Amino acid sequence: MITKQPAGLYIESYVKDMFEDIYDSAYVESTEEEDLFSGTDCFIGGVPIDITINPNKNYSKFIKQYVLEGVTVNVLSRYRNSHHKFERPVLVFHFDVYDLRDRMIICELIEENLTKDIVSEMLGLYK
């Protein structure tokens, strides 16, 4: 993991590494093309996922909120970005980190509180 990344990319990389550890072969990293044209950072069990701390995801619909210790995860369904309509919707995991600035503290809070059971429930929201 590159430590000189902006906070959002650092947290995205951290969460993707965490998902890869949790889901092993069910986890697949997206290609650069899938990220650009489908807004997808990774797949878990075939579900396309976008991981973000950006609260301004356009063309999205709120599905459910998970309030965890120190971080809230808003789950959204996104159908397009400003450049492309997606072939299929993407499940967005928006991490609301409130006013926290220390990316390592944010990542620790996510890792300590976002369990496989919670992520699996979130994945079950995909339609």
70 vs 103: CA distance, rounded Å: 12
15: nearest Cα among 50, 46, 62 = 50
User: What does DSSP say about strands 85-96 and 47-52: parallel, antiparallel, or unpaired?
Assistant: parallel
List Cβ<8 Å contacts ≥24 apart for 104-107. 105/70, 106/7, 106/11, 106/70, 106/71, 107/10, 107/11, 107/14, 107/15
Tens of each residue's pLDDT in the chain, 127 residues: 445 677 888 999 999 999 999 999 999 999 998 988 888 999 999 999 999 998 888 899 999 999 999 899 999 999 998 888 898 999 999 999 887 778 888 899 999 999 999 999 999 999 8
